[in-house]
């Protein structure tokens, strides 16, 4: 099983601040996927195939990485971005998720 | 438009079997894969298994001995059955469609395992 380790677990950012979340895989994966989840709601696709934005996702979001190291960036934090973000791989089964990064607004 | 909706009992007694239904609309089960993902309260996401467009299934090995996923294409439904439930099976259960990624999710159904 590929274990995905996200960091940080929680963080707070001020409006306008740059945010970076990392996701490390225990084995190499082809792509990384990212989902946003707000309290009481289903996860939403956010970034797919490492760097492609899902429909409706603002371009202040970006993703990068390869192999076992991936990152998720918000260029300028906005209040609506407060949520939990999960990385996800489906290079091999069982499909796995990171433990999540809870991002709060400062 | 694409929709998925989970339904199920809400409360299950320990050691009993959970049966959930995912009813889909706006797409064909013979064209897309449907997965089950669960989330314990306050915790992260766990992939449980999937029904592929061609009827094949695959399961998380951690749950494989207890889990079964099936479907009825005529009713646009995917089913989850999991036996020997314990309290740590409590959580929200989601069905989700995959194209290039998990592109549409149901609202989830909360399952509590308690006597």
Tens of pLDDT, residues B53-67: 999 999 999 998 999
Strand, helix or coil for residue A98: coil
Alpha-carbon torsion (A89, A95, A101, A103), positive or negative:
positive
Q: What is the pLDDT of residue A56?
A: 96
Looking at the complex, report in whole angstroms how far the Cα of residue A37 sits from the nearest Cα belonging to chain B: 10
Q: Do B44 and A48 touch (CB under 8 A)?
A: no
Give just the sign of the alpha carbon dihedral A100, A96, A29, B57. Answer: negative
Q: How far apart, in whole angstroms, are the C-alpha atoms of residue B28 and residue B51?
A: 12
By the 8 A CB rule, do B78 and B52 touch?
Answer: no
At residue B28, does pLDDT exceed 90? yes
Verify cis geometry, omega within 30 degrees of 0, for the bond prior to A86. no
Identify the DSSP state of A16.
T
Q: How confident is the model over A65-88, as a mean pLDDT?
A: 98
Average per-residue pLDDT for chain A: 97
pLDDT the model gives residue A40: 94
> How sure is the predictor about B100, in pLDDT bands with cuts at 50, 70 and 90?
confident
Is A97's pLDDT higher than 90?
Answer: yes
Average pLDDT over residues B65-85: 97
Confidence at residue B75, expressed as pLDDT on a 0 to 100 scale: 98
Q: Over 90: is that where the pLDDT of B106 sits?
A: yes
Percentage with pLDDT > 90 across chain A: 100
Among B45, B58, B101, beta carbon nearest to A97: B45
CB B43 within 8 A of CB B27: no
Search chain A and give the residue with CA nearest B63.
A94
Q: Do A98 and B44 touch (CB under 8 A)?
A: yes
The reply to whether residue B58 touches residue A97, judged by beta carbons under 8 angstroms, is: no
Please check whether residue A17 touches B, CB under 8 A: no
What pLDDT, on a 0 to 100 scale, did the predictor assign at position A12? 98
> Could you read off the pLDDT of A7-43 as tens digits, one per residue?
999 999 999 999 999 999 999 999 999 999 999 999 9
A81-95 average pLDDT score: 96
Contact criterion met (CB < 8 Å) for A43 and B62: no
Residue A3 has pLDDT above 90, yes or no: yes
Confidence of residue A5 (pLDDT cuts 50, 70, 90): very high
Q: What is the pLDDT of residue B99?
A: 86
Are B69 and B49 within 8 A, CB to CB? yes
- Positive or negative: CA dihedral A19, A61, A57, A55: negative
Best of B59, B102, B109 to mutate (most A CBs within 10 Å, chain A): B102
Q: Is B63 exposed, middle or buried, given 0-12, 13-18 or 19+ CB atoms closer than 10 A?
A: middle
pLDDT of residue B64: 87
Instruction: Please state whether the peptide bond connecting residue A53 to the residue before it is cis, i.e. omega within 30 degrees of 0.
Output: no
């Amino acid at each position: 099983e590929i274990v995905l380790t996200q960091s940080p677990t929680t963080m707070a950012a001020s409006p306008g601040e740059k945010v970076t979340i990392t996701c490390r895989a225990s084995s190499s994966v082809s792509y990384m996927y990212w989902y946003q989840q707000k309290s009481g709601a289903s996860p939403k696709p956010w970034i797919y195939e490492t760097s492609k934005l899902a429909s409706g996702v603002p371009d202040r979001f970006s993703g990068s990485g390869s192999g076992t190291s991936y990152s998720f960036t918000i260029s300028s934090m906005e209040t609506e971005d407060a949520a939990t973000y999960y990385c996800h791989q489906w290079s091999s089964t069982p499909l796995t998720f990171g433990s999540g990064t809870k991002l709060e607004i400062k | 438009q694409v929709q998925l909706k989970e339904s199920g009992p809400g409360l299950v007694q320990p050691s009993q079997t959970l049966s959930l239904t995912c009813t889909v609309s706006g797409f064909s089960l013979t064209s897309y894969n449907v997965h089950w993902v669960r989330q314990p309260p306050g915790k992260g996401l766990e992939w449980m298994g999937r029904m592929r467009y061609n009827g094949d299934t695959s399961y998380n090995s951690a749950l494989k001995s207890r889990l079964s996923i099936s479907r009825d294409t005529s009713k646009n439904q995917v089913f989850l059955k999991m036996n020997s439930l314990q309290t740590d099976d409590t959580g929200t259960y989601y069905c989700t469609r995959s194209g290039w990624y998990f592109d549409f999710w149901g609202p989830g159904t909360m399952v509590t395992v308690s006597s």
